[in-house]
Amino acid sequence: MALTSMKDMLVRARRGHYAVCYCEAWNLESLEAVVEAAEETRSPVIVGFGGGFLLRPERPHPEPLEYYAGLGHDAAHVASVPVALLLNETDSFDQIKRAIDLGFNDVMVENERAGGELGSPPSCSRRSANWPFARARLGGRSSRVSHGSPSRARVCPINRC
């Protein structure tokens, strides 16, 4: 399978009265475990990587997001269940742009640190949304930018911000 639209996945889940698990992976082995568990239960899954984790200042250099995007896309391609890809909790506008370019379905912006490079969450929405609009439309992706904790998430479709 190819990556599945997260919006479509969640609409089907709502109509079918079931939940969709989000599982964060940190490497190939944890990603494989997530996909295998989803396949064993015949469940769609949202897999993702922590953007802040990949940019931690303790690292000698930031982890290349391209590696993780490749892992996510390949996992979706070989999976027998629907898979969506999320970049979770980033406060880097450059990482948001790269994630969208690399085909992540969604990006969740870390609000706690959003006052720096990104400005307030609403300005980040506009900034993130306006930049990839044509690219996402041409690519047929439904990329979104989400803000805050899951209890206060604000999802902003790129063509409606």
pLDDT at 125 over 60: no
90 or 29: which leads in pLDDT = 29
For residue 7, what is the enclosing H or E element? Answer: helix 6-16
Q: Is residue 146 part of a domain?
A: yes
For the chain, the average pLDDT equals 76
**27: domain CATH number?**
3.20.20.70
Note the pLDDT tens digit of each residue in 76-108.
999 999 999 999 988 888 898 899 999 999 988
Q: Is residue 11 part of a domain?
A: yes
- Residue 109 pLDDT grade (very low, low, confident, very high; cuts 50, 70, 90): confident
Domain count, the chain: 1
Q: Are 75 and 83 a contacting pair, CB within 8 Å?
A: yes
Residues linked to residue 22 through DSSP beta bridges, in sequence order: 46
Q: Is residue 1 part of a domain?
A: no
Q: Is residue 25 part of a domain?
A: yes
Please tell me what DSSP assigns to residue 79.
-
Q: How far is CA 93 from CA 6, 31, 112, 129, 150, in A?
A: 21, 25, 14, 11, 20
Structural domain range at position 111: 6-157
With pLDDT > 70 as the criterion, what percentage of the chain qualifies? 68
Full-model pTM: 0.73
Q: Is residue 98 part of a domain?
A: yes
Q: Are 35 and 79 a contacting pair, CB within 8 Å?
A: yes
Instruction: Give the pairing of strands 21-24 and 144-147.
Output: unpaired
pLDDT at 131 over 80: no
**Tokens standing for residue 72:** 């996510």
